[in-house]
Amino acid sequence: MKIYFVPLARVTSADGVDQIVDHAASLGFDTIASDAALEAAWLGVPRCDGGGQSDHRAPKIHDLLGEVCRRHELALMLDLVLDRSDTPAGFLKLHPEWFSPRVATEAAPPDPRFVGQRLRLPQIRWSSPEIAEALVAWWKVRLLALADMGASRFRCLSPTLTPAAIWRQLIATVRGHNPDCAFHAWTPGSSWDDIAALAGLGFAGGFTSSAWWDCRSPWLIGESEILERIGPSIAFPEPPPGERLPPALFRNCARGIDRGRTAMVRALLAAAATADGILLPMGFEYGASPTADRGRPVEELERLRRQAPFNLCDEVRAANAIIDQATASRLKGLRLIDRSGGGVTALLRTDAVDPDLAAKGAVILLNTDLSAPAALSLSLSPLPPTAGAAWTVRNTTDDALRPLEPGEVRVVRLERSPSILTRPSRTSVQGAMKAARIVIEAVSPAVDGGRFPAKD
């Protein structure tokens, strides 16, 4: 899945959104995502956002987005929040019995990577079976209606704050009526134990935290292994609008245009190479920081294009091509095969969980240095034993083996090394007698009078 994220949470008009969808399609994306509020849309009330309110009315935007995406043959993904209400004039007024009389204070401390993810808003009373059943029924009707309008994919925010039984029931109910609907858990910021608990609930997959990866640390491999229990994972080089830039990316962008461009390209290609899909916020292709998402989105995109310090459209197409190639080869998982300190990190993806049972693979080479080239310190034909099987480069060329440019991410296609089918030649008895040999005269320590060696 290749997702282009268009911020529409606070816009007042969606005029010209067809131009944005056309732009996304030209870059190779197959899905448009938006943060337009679903609850506010259906209730027709203002949305609470960070202490203020938006006069955004989303039904028309949803209708228009669905129509435009169908015309371009793109899927539509919308944000879904179940654990709280961000429309105090809506749910609270219509169904005050659904909420706790006090704002919950036992929520986890704010994650500095995310802005506004834990607003102090009224919490749903999930402990009441009647309320839970009513909410599931309320959302089921509206999610199926959205699917009929063309929005069949949902980015489920704060999934670990909603009881597992609620997700299981809602997803099963909606997909029972429309199997094309897919629910993707927004997992960055959640603990690994909480992410693992989402497996088996019906989610189509989760999102990796690769935007904060330094291209060295092994934690990304561990996170990917957990996300595999849920489904295919989606990565992003920069979080959607409303969340902070990863500190490393922010610092590199502040050190000059060239440094910022190299850092953004590496983040983009690393995200594409290490996951099953990618999400890209609108404006990243023009080197822009998260957009203000006010006014007409088409005007915002044009402003970003005019003020662009550089243009990464070709690199975005290359990233989407990496996703397509990995999907066609059914590559999955991540395996660290080299982190020798020579400046290059090497990861392996294969079409089977066990590399020894795989037929196709790819090695991902990442230069961890943004300012200097790095020579390869490992063999590619064959790969070292840490690859878990005998692999060799599919088409060995000088390009595959040359040193990596500063910040370069290179994906090299692999094939299994040919099996050894011939038997070793047998020597004659006389030849064997004349051959050099090793004679062991004594082994120490030993037991039983020297009959058996003993280990210390």
pLDDT band at 66; cut points 50, 70, 90: confident
Tokens of 304: 């970003």
Structure-model confidence comparison of residues 116 and 298, the more confident one = 298
Phi, psi (rounded to 5 degrees) for 234: -120, 135
Question: Rounded mean pLDDT of 98-118?
Answer: 56
Residue 96 has pLDDT above 80, yes or no: no
Cis peptide before 241 (omega within 30 of 0): no
Q: What pLDDT does 456 receive? A: 59
Question: Rounded mean pLDDT of 152-179?
Answer: 92
d(CA 9, CA 61): 10
Q: Is residue 354 helix, strand or coil?
A: coil
- For the domain made up of 332-416, the CATH class stated in words is mainly beta
Q: Locate tokens 């079976």: which residue?
A: 129
Q: What pLDDT does 396 receive? A: 66
Q: What pLDDT does 345 receive? A: 92
Tokens of 1: 């899945």
Q: Is residue 453 helix, strand or coil?
A: strand
d(CA 127, CA 135): 12
Q: What pLDDT does 364 receive? A: 94
Q: What pLDDT does 294 receive? A: 54
Q: What pLDDT does 327 receive? A: 94
pLDDT band at 242; cut points 50, 70, 90: low
The DSSP call for residue 97 is: G
Structure-model confidence comparison of residues 268 and 137, the more confident one = 268
Supply angle C-alpha 53, 184, 131, rounded to 5: 60
CATH topology of domain 2-329: TIM Barrel (3.20.20)
Structure-model confidence comparison of residues 329 and 8, the more confident one = 329
pLDDT band at 135; cut points 50, 70, 90: confident
Taking the model in full, what pTM does it have?
0.82
pLDDT band at 150; cut points 50, 70, 90: confident
pLDDT band at 424; cut points 50, 70, 90: low
Tokens of 5: 């994220």
Structure-model confidence comparison of residues 40 and 101, the more confident one = 101
Residue 115 has pLDDT above 50, yes or no: no
Structural contact between residues 88 and 103, judged by C-beta atoms closer than 8 angstroms: no
- DSSP output for 124-189: B-TT-HHHHHHHHHHHHHHHHHHHHHTEEEEEESSGGGS-HHHHHHHHHHHHHH-TT-EEEE--TT
Residue 48 has pLDDT above 50, yes or no: no
| Domains of the chain, residue spans | 2-329, 332-416
d(CA 218, CA 216): 7
Residue 347 C-beta-side C-alpha neighbours within 13 Å: 27
pLDDT band at 111; cut points 50, 70, 90: low
d(CA 396, CA 407): 22
